Amino acid sequence: MSNKIRVTVWGEFRHEKRDEVVKKHYPDGMHQVIAKALGKNADMEIRTATLDEPEHGLTQEVVDSTDVFTWWGHCAHKDVSDEIVARVYKRVLEGAGLIVLHAGHFSKIFKKLMGTNCSLKWRVAGENKAGETERLWVIEPSHPIAEGLSEYIELPNTEMYGERFDIPTPEKLVFISWFEGGEVFRSGCTWERGHGRIFYFRPGHETFPIFHNPQIQKVLTNAVRWAKPRIIKEDVCPCSPEIEKVGPREFPQIQG
């Protein structure tokens, strides 16, 4: 039996089919570029799954054999079935990792795990728009997700996301982005839910070739290793054996 980290790269895979700019960067879909990048790591085993496959490619069998999910979605969050989201949610609480990318901030699975609306500010950058420079500053250089990076990652063309980002206070804030237009953003955030680890990573707008960037790929590799399960365990609500008591006690006098 393999000891590899079993990664399921999930992609919405719709922008890539209908938008020429996106298609140019990702002719086979973003998920394929991510999968190929992660697949270079000898300690990982990669599968992909996309929205328009049956059960969005996330059958019970796939979910149960996934150690870490990556999740990119944007225009079609609403088309993801609640049942499949519940399946992934249960797996994360049991110990699987989840890496949410860019517009995945508004995905059902991320909002369900955060308990907030996950809104943010943004600025259009698209087909005929050049985007703007982003610098992702490494706030925690000793965090495993920052392993091997230098002081910052610079991306020459991005779509801006700005604060306030409506998330629970991150347990660790690994990256903060600086944008040319004057905004900042908590771009790399970690949380734990149940026994699972969650990492939100901001970059990845579809109209720019972000996932081809080697440093972005390095972060994804690091994040998968960080998020791999420590245990897989379902928390239930067990009833403990009764204890022997010396007898009923007097209730305290009621006041009020």
State which residue, 54 or 253, has the beta carbon closest to a copy of itself: 253
CB of 74 to a copy of itself, least distance (A): 13
d(CA 164, CA 174): 17
Running DSSP on this structure, what letter comes out for residue 170?
Answer: P
Smallest separation, CB 249 to a copy of itself (Å): 6
Nearest approach in angstroms of CB 54 to a copy of itself is 27
By the rule CB under 8 A, 235 interacts with a copy of itself: yes
Q: Residues binding a copy of itself: what is the number (CB under 8 A)?
A: 89
Which among 198, 190, 203 has a CA at the least distance from the CA of 228? 198
Residue among 213, 219, 227, 228 that touches a copy of itself (CB under 8 A): 213
- Residues 172-191 binding a copy of itself (CB under 8 A) are 172-173, 176-184, 186, 191
- Where b means 16+ CB within 10 Å and e means fewer, 14-49 reads bbbeebeebeebbeebbbbbbbbbbeebeebbbebb
For position 23 contacting a copy of itself by CB under 8 A, the verdict is no
Measured from the CB atom, is 61 or 235 closer to a copy of itself?
235
Q: Is 59 in the site for a copy of itself (CB under 8 A)?
A: no
Which residue's structure tokens are 């706030």? 139
Under the binding rule (CB under 8 A), the answer on residue 236 touching a copy of itself is yes
Q: Rounded to an integer, what distance in angstroms lies between the CA atom of residue 68 and that of residue 8?
A: 6
Phi, psi of 191 (to 5 degrees): -145, 165
Q: Which of 6, 23, 39, 162: binder of a copy of itself (CB under 8 A)?
A: 162
- Residues in Cβ contact with 236 at an 8 Å cutoff, skipping those fewer than 6 apart: none
What does the per-residue mask of binding to a copy of itself show for 105-144, with x meaning CB under 8 A? -x-----xxxxxx-xxxxxx----xxxx--x-xxxxxxxx
